[in-house]
């Protein structure tokens, strides 16, 4: 559980909007964080994170906002899916995005190009977002009432599953360019999912990927999980995905009554 990866080192964490300059938020070079040390991530650390996550969740609930934690391995197509999602929901209400990466503002810049508000969280040596980073991102975004807040976590199938951000739903994204045995290899990630999206289905004719076996493995570790097949580049399955977002938002984060 993150004992040697450096997740406890917050020195390199920066939360900012891509329009802010490097001078305002300098980024350490990669070699600056490549020292070796051990971080004890145990129950007190997770308990502190969970306490802050609960406050984040209550803040969102009080505004009728709905936050989704998007998790996957690197290269699954999370950012492309976000771009497609934002364009498919123009009349669904305000959308805010939190982008998590170890370095660069590239993904947040892509999201901002759609006209959507986004902040970038660069985690430095850290391999996941946590509740404190998400709290700072929410402070900067200040999501309005009934907003949809989409958090793209750092690409990693292990640590992000351990850290509650304060989201109301978790979505795990896999792709057909990965192995169909991923759910068995990374069970905690797939166990934590409310929804599993299988992306890049447009590539099925060109890769050796068994969709039925993938679904069987996913339900072996998480019998309740719902699975959607999507092509973020071509648009297949996007309607089912946006319908899921609308339905879950209405169920889990209704607008609170006035007065």
Range of weakest confidence among 13-22, 142-151, 218-227: 13-22
Q: How far is CA 112 from CA 35, 107, 117, in A?
A: 34, 9, 6
pLDDT band at residue 20 under the 50/70/90 scheme: confident
pLDDT (0 to 100) of residue 92: 66
pLDDT band at residue 4 under the 50/70/90 scheme: very low
pLDDT (0 to 100) of residue 34: 36
pLDDT (0 to 100) of residue 209: 98
pLDDT (0 to 100) of residue 2: 55
pLDDT at 253 over 50: yes
Pairing of strands 195-199, 226-229: parallel
CATH code of 43-252, in short, is: 3.40.50.300
- Percent above pLDDT 70 for the chain: 84
The mean pLDDT value of the chain amounts to: 88
pLDDT at 7 over 70: no
Mean pLDDT of 173-189: 97
pLDDT band at residue 30 under the 50/70/90 scheme: very low
pLDDT (0 to 100) of residue 27: 47
Question: Which residues fall within 8 angstroms of residue 118, CB to CB, at 6 or more apart?
Answer: 17, 18, 96, 97, 98, 99, 108, 111, 112
pLDDT tens column, 112-167? 999 999 999 999 989 999 999 999 999 999 999 999 999 999 999 999 999 999 99
pLDDT at 25 over 70: no
Q: pTM for the whole thing?
A: 0.85
pLDDT (0 to 100) of residue 31: 36
Mean pLDDT of 160-180: 97
pLDDT tens column, 38-95? 445 556 778 999 999 999 999 999 999 999 999 999 999 999 999 999 999 977 689 9
pLDDT at 28 over 90: no
Pairing of strands 66-72, 148-152: parallel
């Amino acid at each position: 559980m993150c004992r040697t990866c450096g997740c406890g080192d917050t020195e390199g964490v920066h939360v900012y909007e891509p329009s802010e300059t490097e001078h305002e938020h300098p980024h350490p070079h990669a070699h600056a964080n490549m020292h070796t040390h051990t971080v004890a991530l145990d129950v007190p650390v997770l308990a502190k994170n969970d306490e802050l996550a609960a406050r984040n969740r209550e803040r969102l609930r009080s505004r009728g906002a709905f936050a989704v934690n998007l998790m996957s391995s690197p290269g699954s197509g999370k950012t492309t899916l976000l771009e497609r999602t934002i364009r498919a929901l123009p009349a669904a209400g305000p959308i805010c995005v939190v982008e998590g990466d170890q370095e660069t503002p590239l993904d947040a810049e892509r999201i901002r190009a759609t006209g959507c508000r986004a902040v970038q969280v660069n985690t430095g040596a850290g391999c996941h977002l946590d509740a404190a980073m998400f709290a700072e991102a929410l402070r900067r975004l200040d999501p309005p009432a009934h907003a949809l807040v989409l958090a793209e976590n750092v690409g990693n199938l292990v640590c992000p599953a351990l850290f509650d951000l304060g989201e109301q739903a978790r979505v795990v994204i896999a792709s057909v360019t990965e192995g169909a045995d991923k759910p068995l290899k990374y069970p905690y990630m797939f166990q934590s999912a409310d929804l599993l999206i299988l992306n890049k289905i447009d590539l099925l004719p060109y890769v050796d990927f068994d969709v039925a076996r993938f679904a069987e493995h996913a339900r072996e570790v998480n019998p309740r999980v719902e699975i959607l097949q999507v092509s973020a580049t071509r648009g297949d399955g996007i309607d089912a995905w946006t319908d899921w977002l609308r339905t879950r938002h209405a169920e889990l984060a209704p607008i609170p009554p006035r007065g």
